[in-house]
Structure 1
Amino acid sequence: MRHSEWRRFILLVSMWVWVLPTQAADTAPALKPLSDGHRGPFIEGVDTPRAKPGAAASPATISRDVGPLEAKCELSGAQFVQHAPVSGGLEGSPMDDEDCGIGNPVGLQGIGDNETEMVFPGTVLVSCGFAQVVSDWLLEDVAQAALHQMASPLVRVGSGPGYQCRRRNNLPDGKLSEHALGKALDLTHFEFSDGATVSIEEDWGKDTAKGRFLKEIHAAACKRFNTVLGPDADPNHRSHFHLDTGCHGRDCTYLICQ
């Protein structure tokens, strides 16, 4: 090989070696360190949703057992079954909030003594303390008003289920209803031993024996419960009485009677 050709060969090889890594660098993506996205430490129940409890067998069945009984419930003048503490929504409830719950719940079935006995259409799940207030009101006030105004013993009290995990007036947000704490009950009608029925929606405000019966028991309820709402309160209560023992005001002495 001539000297000039040898020099040309060496120059070509040198250019090829210099261009190769440059092209490779242009085509290969640059490596970047993995980023954690500035996330904090993993927290159970926050980074992933809490597991939902299994469905209850029926609306009157407790959906979530949250611990042992707080204390034995002693009720006078009531037929009831004591349950373990509950939390969250029951079967069919659109809401399941762990702020809902009762520490000492009872399934209230009826009220009675040696002379009077009245039942609910279904088991009413409420707190032990609230059940006693309801029992006293029905036995001491409502039973007497039945004899006074209707001249017939009261035998059946139409009511809702008591405990419901929901917000006030079933709104999607806002404060929890006292129903969600087992401290409230809605009543719709009353049935008597002679077959008569008093409906809050149909008989409220009338100058009849039925209307006077409702006025009398409403007034008596305002002396026992912290909140009593009826048809005069707002359209949401045109068909029932809402009774609860929820706290109002700083010292829980503010009462609502409508």
Structure 2
Amino acid sequence: MKHKISVLAIWFLLDQFSAAVPQGHATPIPETKPLFDLNGIGFVEGVDVPSAKPQPEKAVPKQKNQQTAISENSCIIPNAEFEELEPVSGAIREGQLNDIACGISDPVRLESVSAVGHKIEFSSPVTVSCKFAKVVAEWLREDVLPLALNNLETSVSVIQSGPGYQCRRRNNLPDGKLSEHALGKALDISHFKLGNGTIISVEDDWGKRTKESKFLDRIHAAACKRFTTVLGPEADPNHKSHIHLDTGCHGQDCTYIICQ
């Protein structure tokens, strides 16, 4: 009995001592709280709980959207100002031949070509096929402009030419084969206006012993490396006033070049 009483006395003294200790020095037991409901409203990943480790993304096949498909089919002519047009066929002006064989499936209205800080404008925009416009732009950008800068010490600012597309036969004859103009693959150039205001005329300056005449000879020769047909004043009387350029097919494999 004495042993049992002493144990009770010890428990009583400990309880009294605990009550006498200031609460600020006590070590409180954390209160149990309910777990947060991840499905509850207000959950924000990275704020309410740590972000989950990102999973590697599965490779998804790239799909072409409509815009990409359209851009891939669009005409691209570097350093040129032009407008893409709806397909044309037959006569588009009064007095022209109205043949269903005439037409361009991818016409553009070419306005200007730029290179090394210079712009060459057409006096009136020309309507030609996209493919032909690319060749014209390359010739102007890579041949005509450098030749003018190197030999005339000025740029070419304006080109005077025909309209490009015309539903007609060769040399405007009433019968015979269609001209390449009728397919948007030809252009006739008559004058070059230089940056200093000088105007070079194919009809007036061709064949003379002047720097302007040499310029015409050089751009004519350069054109023969890009176009399949190049006809100047020496070709025949029909071309005494202009240089005719086209990309028509000559020969069985379309590689025969006519350069006159």
Question: Do Structure 1 and Structure 2 share a fold, with TM-score over 0.5?
Answer: yes
Q: 1:183 to 1:240 in 2, by over 3 A?
A: same
The residue identity in structure 2 corresponding to 1:183 is K
Query: Any idea what SS the aligned residue of 2:73 has?
Result: coil
Which of 156, 169, 174 does residue 158 from structure 2 map onto? Answer: 156
Determine the C-alpha separation between the residues in 1 that align with 2:108 and 2:191: 22
Count matched residues: 191
User: For the aligned residues, what is the CA RMSD?
Assistant: 1.6
Where do 5+ consecutive residues of structure 1 fail to align? 1-67
Other-structure match for 2:110: 108
The CA deviation at 1:150 is 1.3
Contact 1:71 1:104 in 2 (8 A): no
Q: TM-score by structure 1 length?
A: 0.72
The residue identity in structure 1 corresponding to 2:229 is T
Query: Any idea what SS the aligned residue of 2:177 has?
Result: coil
Q: TM-score by structure 2 length?
A: 0.71
Determine the C-alpha separation between the residues in 1 that align with 2:73 and 2:161: 26
Other-structure match for 1:144: 146
The CA deviation at 1:114 is 4.9
Determine the C-alpha separation between the residues in 2 that align with 1:75 and 1:106: 10
Query: Any idea what SS the aligned residue of 2:108 has?
Result: strand
Deviations along 1:29-69, one digit per CA (max 9) or x if unpaired, are: xxxxxxxxxxxxxxxxxxxxxxxxxxxxxxxxxxxxxxx99
Determine the C-alpha separation between the residues in 1 that align with 2:259 and 2:248: 13
Which of 71, 77, 83 does residue 73 from structure 2 map onto? Answer: 71
Query: Any idea what SS the aligned residue of 2:110 has?
Result: strand
Which of 211, 214, 217 does residue 213 from structure 2 map onto? Answer: 211
Determine the C-alpha separation between the residues in 1 that align with 2:103 and 2:176: 17
Contact 1:120 1:157 in 2 (8 A): yes
Other-structure match for 2:39: none
Other-structure match for 2:171: 169
Query: Any idea what SS the aligned residue of 1:161 has?
Result: coil
Determine the C-alpha separation between the residues in 2 that align with 1:132 and 1:77: 10
The residue identity in structure 2 corresponding to 1:128 is C
Deviations along 1:101-143, one digit per CA (max 9) or x if unpaired, are: 0010000011113512010011100000000000000010000
The residue identity in structure 2 corresponding to 1:233 is A
Higher Cα radius of gyration: 2
Contact 1:69 1:84 in 2 (8 A): no
Where do 5+ consecutive residues of structure 2 fail to align? 1-69
Contact 1:109 1:122 in 2 (8 A): yes
Determine the C-alpha separation between the residues in 1 that align with 2:240 and 2:190: 10
Matches within 5 A, 1:123-134: 123-134=125-136
Question: Taking every aligned residue pair, what percent have the same amino acid on both sides?
Answer: 56
